[in-house]
Amino acid sequence: MRSRTQRRAHAGKRAGAGKRAAADAADADDADSDAEFLGRRYARIYEVVRRIPRGRVLTYGAVAELAGMPRAARVVGAALRVSSAAASTPWQRVVGKRRPGWAHISIHDPLGASIQRSLLEAEGVCFSDSGGISLADYGWDGSTRGA
């Protein structure tokens, strides 16, 4: 038979196991809510990108701002990189900002950058000799009128 101290210690271990199980369940709920949160953010990004008119571009930062997430340009890049929804999204219209008034293709993979450039050129976007895109000529202001 267990002593009183042993019974208390055993009861504490059982309670600890219950707390651990509850914590594990809470972590799973947090993971679900994190995934849902990220999914909602990505959906807003795709909504903005789908509105960019043909022959126009928008910077990652501008997409983030129009999606209600200022200063989240990297989230835009991640959303376009990882999701199968990007297949139905004109991802090529989202570009990096080089300097005031100019944008550029910021994909580091040469094949991906070449594909993006070809798609943009097919839409009528022209590039400078240094590969820049004039935002004055091809930038989209986020309005529904398109330019």
Is pLDDT of 42 > 80? yes
- 8 torsion bin: left (phi>0), alpha (psi -120 to 50), beta (else): alpha
Q: Residue 7's pLDDT band (boundaries 50, 70, 90)? A: low
Dihedral pair phi/psi, residue 125, rounded to 5°: -80, 130
Cβ pair 72, 90 in contact under 8 A: no
pLDDT for 25 equals: 47
User: Rounded mean pLDDT of 28-54?
Assistant: 85
Query: Which CATH class, in words, describes the domain spanning 4-138?
Result: mainly alpha
Kindly give the interhelix angle for 73-82 and 4-51, rounded to the nearest 10 degrees.
Answer: 90
The domain segmentation of the chain, as residue ranges, is 4-138
Between 4-13, 21-30, 34-43, 49-58, the lowest mean confidence (pLDDT) is in 21-30
Give Cα 47 distance to the centre of its chain.
Answer: 12
pLDDT tens digits along 97-147: 989 999 999 999 999 999 999 999 999 999 999 999 999 999 999 887 544
- Stronger pLDDT, 138 or 17, i.e. the higher one: 138
**108, two tokens:** 């580091």
**101, two tokens:** 């008034």
Cα separation, 24 vs 30, whole angstroms: 10
pLDDT tens digits along 73-94: 999 999 998 866 667 899 999 9
